[in-house]
Amino acid sequence: MTTEAGVPSVHVIADAFVEQYYRIMGQLPQQACRFYVDASVVSRPRPDGTMMSFTSVEAIDKHFLSCDYSTTFEVVSVHSQNSFKDGILIMVIGFLTGKDKVKRNFSQTFYFARQNTSDYSLAYDVLNDIFRYIDEEETSTPITLPVVESVPAAEADELNMTEPIREIDDSVENSFNASEGKNVVDAQKPTEPVTETVAPQPDGAKREFY
Q: What confidence tens digit (pLDDT) does each residue in 60-108 have?
A: 999 988 876 567 899 999 999 999 888 999 999 999 988 888 899 999 9
Q: What confidence tens digit (pLDDT) does each residue in 152-196 have?
A: 656 655 545 544 444 434 444 444 344 444 433 333 444 444 444
d(CA 43, CA 26): 18
Residues 61 and 23: beta-carbon distance below 8 Å = no
* 187 exposure class (CB count in 10 Å sphere: 0-12, 13-18, 19+): exposed
Q: What share of the chain is helix, strand, coil (3-state, %, to 5)?
A: 35, 30, 40
Q: What is the pTM of this model?
A: 0.62
Going from the N-terminus, what domains does the chain have, and what CATH number goes with each? 10-137+201-209 (3.10.450.50)
Question: What pLDDT, on a 0 to 100 scale, did the predictor assign at position 52?
Answer: 96
